[in-house]
Amino acid sequence: MKLLFVGDVMLGRVVNQVLRSEPPAYPWGDTLPIFRQADFRVCNLECVISDAGVPWSVTPKVFHFRSDARNVAALQIAGINAVSLANNHTLDYEYEGMYEMLKTLDGAGIRHAGAGASLPASSAPAFSEVGGQRIGLIAFTDNEPVWEAGENRPGLFYVPVDLEDVRANRLLEEVTKTKGLVDLLIVSAHWGPNWGYAPPAEHPPFARALIDAGADIIFGHSGHVFRGVELYKGKPIIYCAGDFIDDYAVDEIERNDQSFIFVVEARGGEIRGLRLHPTVITDYQARLARGIEAEEIASRMTRLCRELGTRALWRADQGFWT
């Protein structure tokens, strides 16, 4: 079984305007053949897909990302099976926008985790079944503490990246409980700062604790640039998948337009391999990197993985393997 992951998918602002004249496949560029080869596909949805709501104004917020509700078709055409909603844009258009998005995703058959009408709802796993294998997705974020869900308050599954925090203990307990119900468990983490190619010091011990509790794959994002991959007990920790689709200005030093399609190969509930395809954002769409640019992206990832103790091998004709 092949499980595919891409980082932040932001379909708002200019991307939303483009989708008013271009087909739903446009933001995915030439990457869709790789998506179609996968059995299960996950992304972090870095915007609200909704026609409802007004910009969040309770606390100061600079950026508000929203995409027309009909653009759920863009997720469908890529075969996205599940999305993480535990991030700093899910409530950009207040609770009304979030609630409509949840209904829109449900209507499209797209599973979601990380946001809901209460803490029990936002922390609840999303379940799927593929080829007889049961897959679970838990999503949390350490962004936007003001959006933290409560027992009777809507919001996000907010968890500080601090193993001493009671909320981290709740997350670990949820991971252990969910692992008993599934063959493969994915934990999505929208965490850390926007910049920097190295994971923050608190991330590795936290990610390893998640795996010790039962997680099989750690799918990290939030930073605008990709970070290295660690293999812990044979299980991948993707510290940050970077930006996959957006309209952001590009930093010349920390290239936030560069990322990867991460494909995890699993068999019988065990991780067997990880293959990465370098990508670059061009004209508001993800495209496979080619030639020298692909070599440069792969070279940076090779170095970042080596710093985490992970051996990585780049083969231009096959993709990037760890």
Q: Rounded to the nearest 10 degrees, how much is the dihedral formed by the CA atoms of 113, 115, 120, 121? A: -70
**Per residue in 67-123, pLDDT tens?**
999 999 999 999 999 999 999 999 999 999 999 999 999 999 999 999 999 999 999
Strand partners for 231 = 236
Q: What are the tokens at 257?
A: 């337009």
Proportion of the chain above pLDDT 70, given as a percent: 98
CA end-to-end span of the chain: 17
The rounded distance, in Å, linking the Cα atoms of 200 and 49 is 30
Q: How many CB atoms lie within 10 A of CB 60?
A: 6
For strands 270-282 and 319-321, give the pairing: antiparallel
Q: Which of the residue ranges 189-193, 285-289, 311-315, 316-320 would you say has the lowest mean pLDDT?
A: 316-320
Q: Looking at the predicted structure, is the pLDDT value of residue 145 above 90?
A: yes
Q: Looking at the predicted structure, is the pLDDT value of residue 308 above 80?
A: yes
The amino acid at residue 115 is A
Q: Looking at the predicted structure, is the pLDDT value of residue 297 above 60?
A: yes
Q: What are the tokens at 242?
A: 């970077």
Q: Rounded to the nearest 10 degrees, how much is the dihedral formed by the CA atoms of 293, 299, 305, 306? A: -170
Instruction: Please list, in sequence order, all residues whose beta carbon lies within 8 angstroms of the beta carbon of residue 235, skipping any fewer than 6 positions away.
Output: 211, 215, 216, 217, 218, 271
Show the DSSP H helices in the chain as ranges.
13-18, 32-37, 72-77, 94-107, 119-123, 166-179, 203-213, 291-307
Domains of the chain are 2-321 (3.60.21.10)
Q: Looking at the predicted structure, is the pLDDT value of residue 321 above 70?
A: no
The rounded distance, in Å, linking the Cα atoms of 293 and 158 is 37
The amino acid at residue 187 is V
Residue 322's pLDDT is: 56
For strands 48-49 and 66-67, give the pairing: parallel
> Hey, is 95 helix, strand or coil?
helix
The amino acid at residue 265 is E
**Per residue in 211-264, pLDDT tens?**
999 999 999 999 999 999 999 999 999 999 999 999 999 999 999 999 999 999
